[in-house]
Amino acid sequence: MDTGTTTPDLLSSVAGSGTGEGRLGAIQSKLLSARDSGRKSLCCYLMGGMSPDWQDVARAIENGGADIVEIGLPFSDPMIDGPVIQHASKLSLDSGNSPMSVIDSIPCMDMSIPVAVMTYYNIIYKAGLYRMAGRIASAGIAGSIIADLPVEESDSWVTTANDAGIENIMLVAPTTSPDRTKIICDVSQGFVYCVGTMGVTGERDELPNSAKEVAAKVKAATDKPTLVGIGVSTPSQAASVCAIADGVILGSAIVRRITEGEGARGIENFVRLLRRSID
């Protein structure tokens, strides 16, 4: 399914909205310097507020050797998430958390690796773009990933986020055409998030071929750091993807462990395993 013939006018109006260049943010700097030193990068996800000890778990992720921690802001209708992260989102909301309460608790966690928030656009739209960008930036959060904000709709948020110093990370999928890939890579900041498999977030027994293919496609289109997520579940899968990609993102494999009651120590050990597998 190639969409190279579509919406050239639209895409060209997005291209050159001029966000890719200029001073580098914390995420991109960190990932580029890792790459320059021949190191692969590890980004780990957890849902903010999903368990009483989620802040300890975030620090455990840092201690285990992750380069970036990605924190989910809970949303009632997470369209691209499978059952594990849906459940985590519900746990978070049911325990009285909100997107803002999660953001506001991040400074207290005193993380030394960059933090990105991952959420859905309604959370930002409802809060107001300007207000949300200010709140994210003042919490010391470096980046945002908005799952349902494709490049055509991204201009308002990218501009607002950039003004606040936030790097907005964008997704490239296995079905993304070469033309689109180029434009998304231009607009994306921090890194390019390669969707490793056509499907929702969740663990899979086998690493699909598409995981490496999409990484290769993005590497050919940009020098920006290229990380693969969605469908990467185990240390050996992470290692396999890193043969091509600059790094990996793991979400459901971590969230499931937290849900099953593995505390900070268990998660730190798992992250250490991941780290070792890609080093």
Show which residues are catalytic.
70, 81
Distances (CA, A) of 213 to 42, 140, 209, 210, 253: 19, 34, 6, 5, 22
3-state SS, residue 221: helix
Q: How far is the CB of 181 from other proteins (least distance, A)?
A: 10
Q: What does the binding site for other proteins look like in residue numbers (CB under 8 A)?
A: 1-3, 5-7, 9-10, 74-80, 82-83, 86, 90, 93, 98-100, 120-131, 147-153, 155-156, 170-177, 180, 184, 195, 197-200
Count of CB atoms within 10 A of residue 112's CB? 7
Shortest distance, position 168 Cβ to other proteins, whole Å = 13
Quick check: 46 and 258 in contact, CB under 8 A?
A: yes
- The residue (of 141 and 172) whose beta carbon lies closer to other proteins is 172
- Tell me whether residue 15 or residue 80 sits nearer to other proteins (CB atom): 80
Question: Based on CB atoms, which residue is closest to other proteins, 33 or 175?
Answer: 175
Shortest Cβ 278–other proteins spacing (Å): 24
Please name the residues in contact with 268: beta carbons below 8 A apart, sequence gap of 6 or more: 60, 61, 63, 64
Q: What angle do CA 45, 279, 204 make, to 5 degrees?
A: 45
Indicate the residue among 5 and 112 with the shorter CB distance to other proteins: 5
Q: How many helices (H) and strands (E) does the chain have?
A: 13, 8
Asked if 27 and 68 count as a contact pair (C-beta separation under 8 A), the reply is yes
Two tokens at 128?
């107001």
User: What is the DSSP annotation of 150-165?
Assistant: -GGG-HHHHHHHHHTT
Closest distance of CB 72 from other proteins, Å: 14
